Structure formats: C-alpha cells, structure tokens
A and B are shown apart, each in its own frame.
Chain A
C-alpha cells in the first residue's frame, strides 16, 4: 500500500514536470509551436502604402511658411509678430490626445524658460474643428484651464499642418530666426513620465542653436495621436 502510494506520487511528479515543461514551451504567447521566433531574416524590403516622403512636409533646412491663425484670445497670430525672436518652437498639439495632455506642462515649462531668451512656443491645433472636443471653443476652455502662457492657434482650414508635415500630436518643428527648420520630432524621450526623461530633444536643440551649432538629433519619432483631418 505504501509502495503504491509512493509510486503514484512519483508518477504524478514526473508527469507534472513534463506538463509544466510543455506549457512553458508555449508560454511565450508567440506564434504557435514549431514556428521560429526571433529577429528578421530573409523576406523582401519594406513596402508601405504611404511613405514619409509622400506624407510630405518640411525637411531639415527647409524654410517654413509663416501663417496667420486665430489665437484663443481672438487675435490673429503670425510668426512675424513675435518680436526679437531667435527661433520658434512650433508645436502641433490638441485638446484631447493623451500624449498632447501629458506634454502640456512641459510645453508651458519650455515656453516659460525659453520665451525670454527668444524662443517662444507657438501651439497649433491641426485637428478638424468639426469635433466639439477640438473646436475653437474647446481650445479656449483648455487654454484657460491650463493657463497657457503661449499662443494656441486654430488651423481652421487645415492648410498649415500639411505644409509642415505634422502627422501626430504633439509634433514639434523648431525653427531658427530665419524660419529654417532645425529640428523635427518629439519634445523629449519619455512621454509618460517627465521625471524619467533622459534626453530633452527640443531643449537640447535650442541650446545647440544658441551655440551656433546644428542640433543632434535633428529628427526624432514618437507615438502620438494621428492628426484628425476633415
């Protein structure tokens, strides 16, 4: 009796470890058994329906267009209106996108720190004003809630963001005093957590311009909300 019990337990032990092993093998949640998981090999080059070139917009060194867009205070704002500008932090952002929201405080900080040095944040909402969350009234409300110290402009005809090539919010275009594009991309390298940022892309780019140098990197990518066209 004792012996059979021991035997039984042993069988259980062995079968259990076998089963655990086999489930462990499947655990990766990857492709089903027998398929290789790992880095690429073979296959053709990338193909996509719309390339970054087709999205268009400015490249580094291009002269960006000025504009005349309505600010949340009701006044029309152009880059040329900003006196003694050494550059412009043109930022496409919006009301509702969580990424845009996560960067609101950091945009305020950038403006507060660098506007006195000649680099103002000019925020432009590229989204369709058909949405009641993104229309001019909603923008005014958001600007008031956050007490934006910078201009928050509506691209109501949606003509400016395609010229720049803004595809997501937030999307920054740092221009120098001749409106030449010097940096395109994200504000820093951690959207979710300001305290975990290790590279402040826009700030570093401004500091480079201040020293008469070219920013590096001058192009960064980030996940953001797609611009809502009409």
Chain B
C-alpha cells in the first residue's frame, strides 16, 4: 500500500514544488528578465489591453527590426523606474522563430524587466482596426490606459518625461 502510493506522493510533491516555483517566477517578472515569452494571437492578446482597475497600464507595440522602437525602449525603462506602480507591457511583433535566438538575448542585453509578450497574428488588417481605427499599422505604437481613460500614440516617445506628460494627460483629466 505504502509503496503503491509512493509514486503518487512523489508526483504530488514534485508538482507542488513546481507550481510554487512557477508562481515565484511569475512574481519576479518585475525584477528579472522574463524567461518565458508567451506567443499570442490577437484574441489572446486583447484582454491585456483592458482593465477594470484604476492602475495605469502602458502597452507598447515594438519589434527588434524597428529602429525608432529600440531607440525609445530606454525611455520606457526610465519611466518604469520612476513609476513602479505603472505596469508596462511590451508587445513584440518579432517573429516567433527568433524568440530564443534573438529576442531573449536582446531583452537581456537591454535589461528589459517589464513583461514581454509576442503577438503572432498575420491578419493585421483585421486586428489593427480593433485596437484603434486611427492606427496606420506603423510602429512604435503605444496605448496608455486605465479603467476609464485611454489614449493612443502612433509615434516614438522622446524621453521619459515625454511619456510621463502623456500619461498625466490621459489619466488625470
């Protein structure tokens, strides 16, 4: 009886440890570089673009192949440092095949600690308009929002102060 239960008990112990580890690493995403980059289609991404809370979110659409995007990344990092209560999510439009070989090393090199997800949905003509009918599809593109306010920015930010101004304009109306 004991021996028959042993494998089960071990499995349970193992999965217990594993899930604890998982939740720990989830909590640590704000301080360390993310180890897993989820790949979403638009339907999977969409819930991240809305909230019921008063917390401020910044969603930045970017890619490694986009020069102006890379140039504005440090401004988001600086803004994040000064505003730890704001949640920044980077939506990468890079190619899924590049996640391991290029994206992760890139994020590590740049010290990006914010959440990063990858949007892989070829039918951009459909989902661009769902995000913002005024968006042409060029990146960088940024959404600032909470439960009540929302603004769209089809441009690169020039500084952390530039971001801060837009956040204040959006949220504290």
Residues of A within 8 A of B (CB): 2, 5-6, 8-9, 12-13, 15-16, 19-20, 22-23, 26, 28-31, 34-40, 42-44, 46-52, 55, 96-99, 167-168, 185-186, 189-193, 196, 217, 220-228
Contact = CB atoms under 8 A, between A and B. Distances in A.
Given A15-B16, A43-B147, A30 B48 contact: yes
Contacts of B138: 167-168, 224-227
Contacts, number: 167
Contacts of A190: 122-123
B contact residues, range: 35 or more
B26 A26 contact: yes
A109 to B, nearest CB: 19
Given A6-B5, A15-B16, A36-B51, 16 more contacts: A12-B12, A16-B19, A30-B47, A39-B46, A43-B148, A43-B149, A46-B133, A46-B152, A48-B135, A48-B154, A50-B153, A55-B136, A98-B95, A220-B125, A222-B137, A228-B67
A173 B32 CA distance: 45
B125 A221 contact: yes
Interface of B: 1-2, 5, 8-9, 12-13, 15-16, 19-20, 22-23, 26, 38, 46-53, 55, 57, 65-68, 87, 93, 95, 115, 117, 122-125, 128-129, 132-140, 145, 147-155, 166, 170
Contacts of B153: 48-50
Contacts of B151: 46-49
B21 to A, nearest CB: 10
A221 B22 CA distance: 38
Task: Tell me the dominant secondary structure on chain B's binding face.
Answer: mixed
A196 B122 CA distance: 9
Contact of B124 (A47, A49, A222): A222
Q: Which of A15, A49, A226 has the most CB of B within 10 A?
A: A226
